[in-house]
Amino acid sequence: MVPTATLIAVLVNPKGSNVAAFVRSVQTGARSLGLKIEVVQASTDGNLDPIFATLGRLSAGGLVIAPDQVLYALSERIAALAIRHRVPTSFQYRQAAAEGGLMSYGANAVDLFRLAGAYTGRILKGEKPGDLPVVQSTKFEFVINLKTASALGIAVPNSMQLLADEVIE
């Protein structure tokens, strides 16, 4: 979406789980694209204004928000700050793109809840949790918010729009 970007910031909740693994995976992807990564941390709403000031000083070409329940709860505020500071954002869940984030790519939340419900049902029927196989969602969705893209001055190529599962206008 931002082909001229050379540095991408990654927003993580330092109190969240799997932060190190997420950052490693983003760093691996960034290296393959010739991008630099700057990790920024927030665990409360109060951390967000200073972070966006830092993003401006860094000239970050975008912001990737780590999958985390605290950051998920702050997604509307993050999206609003991103538009105000003109920082393209990528979230994991569709809701964040609907709230003003530039785009999202991640597992379909409904599918995740369905999987959790199926597991819960199996446990309630007497199966031991340790005996159940590990499963992951197989339904992923890519959502682009064209209104946000326009506000950021980003022209989303038609080819990118055709790849999207949903385009919000």
Domain harbouring 33, CATH code:
3.40.50.2300
Cα–Cα distance, 63 to 11 (Å, whole number): 7
Could you tell me which residues are beta bridge partners of residue 104? 91, 143
* Residue 32 pLDDT level (bands cut at 50, 70, 90): very high
The CA-CA-CA angle for residues 100, 82, 59, to 5°, reads: 145
Helices 48-58, 75-85: axis angle to 10 degrees equals 40
The pTM of this model reads 0.85
Task: Tell whether 116 is covered by a domain.
Answer: no
- Please give the pLDDT value at position 17: 84
* Residue 113, pLDDT score: 87
Task: Please state the domain count of the chain.
Answer: 1
User: For residue 32, is it within any domain?
Assistant: yes
In a domain, 83, yes or no: yes
Q: Is there a domain that residue 34 lies in? A: yes
Residue 16, pLDDT score: 86
Show the domain range for 78: 7-107+141-168
pLDDT of 62 above 90:
yes
Residue 115 lies in a domain: no
Distance of CA 113 to the CA centre of its chain: 18
Percent above pLDDT 90 for the chain: 78
Asked whether 127 and 82 are in contact (CB, 8 A), the reply is no
Classify residue 122: in a domain, yes or no.
no
* CB distance 37 to 27 below 8 Å: yes
pLDDT at 18 over 90: no
Is 61 contained in some domain? yes
Residue 111: predicted pLDDT: 86
**Considering the domain boundaries, does residue 16 fall inside one?**
yes
Average pLDDT rounded to a whole number, residues 158-168: 95
Cα dihedral across residues 3, 100, 54, 37: positive or negative? negative
